[in-house]
Structure 1
Amino acid sequence: MKIHSQTIIFIAFQMLVSFVIKAQFTHQDSLRGTLSPIRACYDATFYDLKLKIIPTSQSIEGSNTIYYKSTTDFKKMQVDLYANMQIINISQHDKPLKFSRDGNAIFIIFSDIQKKGEAYSIKIDYRGKPQIAKNPPWDGGFTWKKDLNGKDWIVVSCEGTGASLWFPNKDHLSDEPDSVRITCAVPKGLTCVSNGNLRSTKYLKSESQVFDNKQLDGILPLSYTEFQWFVSYPINNYNITLNIADYANFKDTYTAQDGEKLDLDYYVLKPNLEKAKIHFKQVKPMLACYEKYFGKYPFWKDGYALVETPYWGMEHQSAVAYGNNYKNNEYGFDFIIIHESGHEYFGNSLSCNDHAEMWIHESFTTYMEALYVECTQGYEKSIQYLEKQKIGIRNREPLIGPMGVNYSQPDSDIYYKGTWMLHTLRNVVNDDKIWFETLKGLTTKFKITNVSTQQIIDYFNEKTGKNLTPYFDMYLKTKHLPTLQYQLIPNNDTVELRYRYKDANDSMPIKAGFGLQMYEVIMPNNEWKIKIFQKVEGRELKIATELFYVKVEKI
């Protein structure tokens, strides 16, 4: 079966970077992945991030003021910043605080108790050369490039690697700041695009005006422009981003079913402006399909944006990174736009608490691609699309990994096996009205919320009225697949189907018949069963493997 080249490359990249997973997790993995008492003791509520970007030295300097609420009395807390980044000072109320470092973890000691229920803030001044991304976006870091006109093109991506590679924060998926202000100063002639809404642009006469009149040693005076962005919703740390280039900007609006208008912003390299105006026309039909299945775009006040980047793409909240060179696939759409924008629902709005449960982000979003095809081209086309996604399944490890150790999935199964799990469950439920009500209800109930695997399973069980737990558990927690054994015995006007599951523990319903419109539900177990079908001229009886992710053995 032929698969479009973009998906092959995507799978290959996923396989390549998967080997960051370790047979034994390190001390640093535990420091990053574990919600220890010195991290659980506070809830990050607001980040006030101020940065100056220095392309000539590929370095950054600035501060992050972390606002938080104490969840218990404490005098010691952990924040995170990569060890190669220098901390200049940590202070509270302009008074320096003592701190120590253990690799990428920073332990801050307070002279006064941070009392439960009280709000506080600390300011961390820092600088350094953030690590360079070798294979963005999967291998995190900064990318320092030049556009075709020789102007700087600088971006950051850090989903798996962690936002602490470039700014100090509480780098754990379970804690999202409620809002963020990003103030970014860049050399004159460049634009800095971040998340949320652009609040102000200030032109600075010289570098000495950047951030409290601090002058960096050895840097020649240079005019800077300061951009201030504000995110008004909770946001994953890894979704906070910077995109710096000589961008052109054009705008549009999307009108929701209720008549409310959503601001659309597009930032592209200037030579690509005209092609982008044509290519990005697919955004509004996409938003309409997603609204149909999952409700309105979740970050309405912050708007929706696509920002051109020198890497493939990333779901940065309200500033989706796009770098697929304005190419559509064989189905006539740009899967990077469709996939990364889908993460606004799964990953950005509905978010997991631990990297071990990243299936929640990727499985649902990859399934959204198939639903987009169904929405725009029909159900049978979506089945074709799903069959091509199936080629990427490896089934070597469970989709859920160990918790609390910054786990990284070793292959692309959280994408493709995950989407086939959901496609299978749709057919187990066997009622599209209930299925789509459940999907929309899921994104509504857990909008802008962290959620666990068990909460999702419980919700599906409740809304569908079926016990789907055994099927979720099988696909998520094991490598096991049901194996359906069957025989076909033709008679004059009928075909006798003999069938059973090879494993005594399997009991998932499946369908058999003469094609999509002519399937019937069968209920296999480990005992041989018989079902008689009337023959259909020109068609062969088959098991519906295009609707269920199972193995089949014809005997």
Structure 2
Amino acid sequence: MKPIYWLAGLALSCGLQAAQAQSKPQTFTRADTLRGSITPQRAWWDAQHYAISVQPDFETKSLKGSNTIGYKVLDEKGAAEMQIDLQTPLHIDSAVLNGKQKLRFRNDGNAWFIAMPQQKKGATNKLTVFYSGTPREAVRAPWDGGWTFTKDSLNRPWMTVTCQGLGASVWYPCKDHQSDEPDRGATLTMIVHDTLMAVGNGRLKQQQKLPGKLASFTWEVTNPINNYNIIPYIGKYVSFKEVYPGEKGKLDVTYWVLDYNLPKAKSYLKPEVHNTLKAFEHWFGPYPFYEDGYQLIDVPHTGMEHQSAVAYGNHYKPGYRGRDGSGTGWGMKWDFIVIHESGHEWFGNNITTRDLADMWVHEGFTNYSETLFVDHIFGVQAGNEYNRGTRQGIRNDKPIIPPYGVNAQGSGDMYPKGGNMLHAIRHSMANDVLFRDILRGLNKTFYHQTVSSKQVEEYISKRAGFDYTKVFDQYLRTTQIPKLEFYVSGNGQKLIYRWTNCVAGFNLPISMQNATVSMRIEPTTGWKTSELKAGAEALFTKEAIEKMYYIVAEPSEGKTALR
């Protein structure tokens, strides 16, 4: 998702990086629980496949369509009703089981409950839900979700959807919870005016002319896919293709652009995409969706991470709409949208969190993918500088992880603070081979799976051979910036140090090095002492430490520290 911290960060002074007063506790409603939890009407069935068909009307800004949901019965108990999500003002017109039996239904806000006949555990069935109406429009896509009905610069229709956070049920009926992806993928059929091209996720499987100057385009994804990633793109698209020699073999890469963008797209996009795939396959492992290919698609908004169909709207220029969120200059040497949104193919699309509360796994890792990209293409120092620069967007307004089960999103700090936390963990290891193995291991171990933050945290600690539990607690569950108090003994031979302003048991190691010497310390909340190696005193300065870690480093006078 587009990092909203950039807009906020550009308007904030550096002083706002300090912890701010907590906002008032949010009140959650029944609708929040129905949307964000595994209700009994959701628990008994598992989504296997979606076959979505949609026909938008550009003039009336309305649509009609259907979704045939292939599902498996997990438990006969509780199967009297099935919860299907569809947000108003869209409405369900009818529901048909296995193409034969028309079912009754009721609704409770955006949740619809379909009365089911007796279900048999282990059985697989198909429920077709027909729907229609005037969908919610996105006022400020992609930050505000919904349909976008707009026109390109030649005054021709241009339509798409953005729905992360808000939910895919803003435009089609589904089990709108991140924990249940259709295991066998999805198809998306778009029926549009025959002068337009409709693009979707994966590969184009069928295209045909229809009566009334209409045409249909059916796209297919064979891999599991999270709901908010299934997206229609409709406009005057043309394409060009290539085969990228990736780590896993030949990767089909397709660029869908508005016809008048074709010349500049050919010269501009290929180098950006090649560098992106090169860097991310190095750090994260093979691109996770070789079967479905990789696509980059023109959109009227800034961009989004839609699986195998990445939305691009950065005007074919470096930076993020002409800006560098890090303020270092490094962000103007590459296209932010190509890199960031493609990074989500690994974190967000390959590895998806079950609950929206754990979205830092999507956004923190993908924010950090920017640093890793800069590191891989421009060098380690450039990556360090870029990462530190992104701190200007950290607000510490509220914890990154909010309450579970109510479809709540935490602070926008999940982007830059999450990325800086991962950079701190990397530096604390002082072993990039191990750190890279952990990133690649995450994508291999949780390949095409939904996970919790806890699983990711435990995996990193186990592979690192160090318990980072309190480090995750500090950065994800509080707004405190940890403070390292330290001083060098009078004879210059010892370093004395401790953590303050932190959770109990906070234990982030500090590894420092230069061209001649390196040293690692493991501070706790009690004073500790380490012998200084020859020349190591120069490593432990406020400036040097804060350059590498998102902490406050505070030199203390010995007599004060010893009290």
Aligned to 2:119: 114
Alignment partners' CA distance in 2, 1:458 and 1:533 = 33
Q: TM-score, normalised by structure 1?
A: 0.89
**How far did residue 430 of structure 1 move?**
2.1
CA deviations 1:375-429 (Å, max 9, x no partner) are: 10110000011011111112232221111001022x3211111111111111222
Structure 2 counterpart SS, 1:428: helix
Aligned to 1:100: 106
Alignment partners' CA distance in 2, 1:328 and 1:270 = 21
Aligned to 1:165: 170
Q: Aligned in 2, Cα 1:298/1:530: closer, same or farther, shift over 3 Å?
A: closer
1:69 aligns with 2:72: yes
Alignment partners' CA distance in 2, 1:277 and 1:454 = 42
CA deviations 1:65-112 (Å, max 9, x no partner) are: 1110111112211110012112221111332211000000000112x2
Q: Aligned in 2, Cα 1:163/1:519: closer, same or farther, shift over 3 Å?
A: same
The one-letter code sitting in structure 1 at the alignment partner of 2:50 is Y
CA deviations 1:162-220 (Å, max 9, x no partner) are: 010111000001000121111111112111111010011111231xxxxxxxxxxxxxx
1:362 aligns with 2:363: yes
Q: How many residues align?
A: 526
**How far did residue 532 of structure 1 move?**
4.1
Alignment partners' CA distance in 1, 2:515 and 2:203 = 46
Gaps (5+ residues) in structure 1? 207-222
Kindly indicate whether the alpha-carbon contact (under 8 Å) linking 1:500 and 1:529 is maintained by their aligned counterparts in 2: no
Alignment partners' CA distance in 2, 1:288 and 1:369 = 13
1:267 aligns with 2:267: no
Kindly indicate whether the alpha-carbon contact (under 8 Å) linking 1:132 and 1:143 is maintained by their aligned counterparts in 2: yes
**How far did residue 275 of structure 1 move?**
1.1
Aligned to 2:240: 250
Aligned to 1:58: 61
Kindly indicate whether the alpha-carbon contact (under 8 Å) linking 1:81 and 1:104 is maintained by their aligned counterparts in 2: yes
Kindly indicate whether the alpha-carbon contact (under 8 Å) linking 2:5 and 2:416 is maintained by their aligned counterparts in 1: no
Alignment partners' CA distance in 2, 1:435 and 1:352 = 21
Q: Greater shift after overlay, 186-195 or 527-536? A: 527-536
Aligned to 1:463: 463
Kindly indicate whether the alpha-carbon contact (under 8 Å) linking 1:254 and 1:264 is maintained by their aligned counterparts in 2: yes
Aligned to 1:475: 475
Note the 1:81-92 alignment, pairs <5 A. 81-92=86-97
The one-letter code sitting in structure 2 at the alignment partner of 1:453 is S
Aligned to 1:371: 372
Gaps (5+ residues) in structure 2? 17-21, 320-328, 557-563
Aligned to 2:205: 199
Kindly indicate whether the alpha-carbon contact (under 8 Å) linking 2:474 and 2:506 is maintained by their aligned counterparts in 1: no
Q: TM-score, normalised by structure 2?
A: 0.88
Aligned to 1:318: 308
Alignment partners' CA distance in 2, 1:263 and 1:518 = 46
Kindly indicate whether the alpha-carbon contact (under 8 Å) linking 1:349 and 1:448 is maintained by their aligned counterparts in 2: yes
Structure 2 counterpart SS, 1:302: coil
The one-letter code sitting in structure 1 at the alignment partner of 2:462 is E
Alignment partners' CA distance in 2, 1:124 and 1:155 = 21
Alignment partners' CA distance in 2, 1:446 and 1:31 = 27
Kindly indicate whether the alpha-carbon contact (under 8 Å) linking 1:512 and 1:541 is maintained by their aligned counterparts in 2: no
CA deviations 1:263-299 (Å, max 9, x no partner) are: 1111111121111112212101210111111111101
1:25 aligns with 2:28: yes
**How far did residue 53 of structure 1 move?**
1.6
1:227 aligns with 2:209: no
Alignment partners' CA distance in 2, 1:98 and 1:450 = 32
The one-letter code sitting in structure 2 at the alignment partner of 1:279 is Y
Q: Aligned in 2, Cα 1:36/1:536: closer, same or farther, shift over 3 Å?
A: closer
Query: Match for 1:130 among 108, 130, 135?
Result: 135
Aligned to 1:287: 277
Aligned to 2:437: 437
**How far did residue 507 of structure 1 move?**
3.4
Q: Aligned in 2, Cα 1:271/1:10: closer, same or farther, shift over 3 Å?
A: farther
Aligned to 1:548: 549
The one-letter code sitting in structure 1 at the alignment partner of 2:211 is K
Kindly indicate whether the alpha-carbon contact (under 8 Å) linking 1:100 and 1:108 is maintained by their aligned counterparts in 2: yes
Aligned to 2:560: none
**How far did residue 25 of structure 1 move?**
0.8
Structure 2 counterpart SS, 1:475: helix
Q: Aligned in 2, Cα 1:69/1:385: closer, same or farther, shift over 3 Å?
A: same
The one-letter code sitting in structure 2 at the alignment partner of 1:9 is L
Q: Greater shift after overlay, 418-427 or 167-176? A: 418-427
Alignment partners' CA distance in 2, 1:537 and 1:358 = 40
Percent of matched pairs sharing the same residue: 39
The one-letter code sitting in structure 1 at the alignment partner of 2:445 is K
Aligned to 1:217: none
Q: Greater shift after overlay, 516-525 or 340-349? A: 516-525
Kindly indicate whether the alpha-carbon contact (under 8 Å) linking 1:312 and 1:322 is maintained by their aligned counterparts in 2: yes
Q: Aligned in 2, Cα 1:354/1:11: closer, same or farther, shift over 3 Å?
A: farther
Kindly indicate whether the alpha-carbon contact (under 8 Å) linking 1:84 and 1:129 is maintained by their aligned counterparts in 2: yes
Alignment partners' CA distance in 2, 1:66 and 1:448 = 20
**How far did residue 518 of structure 1 move?**
4.1
Aligned to 2:520: 521
Aligned to 1:44: 47
1:395 aligns with 2:414: no
**How far did residue 512 of structure 1 move?**
4.8
Q: Aligned in 2, Cα 1:225/1:21: closer, same or farther, shift over 3 Å?
A: farther
The one-letter code sitting in structure 1 at the alignment partner of 2:292 is D
Q: Aligned in 2, Cα 1:333/1:7: closer, same or farther, shift over 3 Å?
A: farther
Kindly indicate whether the alpha-carbon contact (under 8 Å) linking 1:397 and 1:478 is maintained by their aligned counterparts in 2: yes
Structure 2 counterpart SS, 1:450: strand
Structure 2 counterpart SS, 1:89: strand
**How far did residue 300 of structure 1 move?**
0.4
Alignment partners' CA distance in 2, 1:549 and 1:77 = 47
Alignment partners' CA distance in 2, 1:539 and 1:364 = 28
**How far did residue 23 of structure 1 move?**
1.3
CA deviations 1:236-277 (Å, max 9, x no partner) are: 00000011110121111110235x211111111112111111
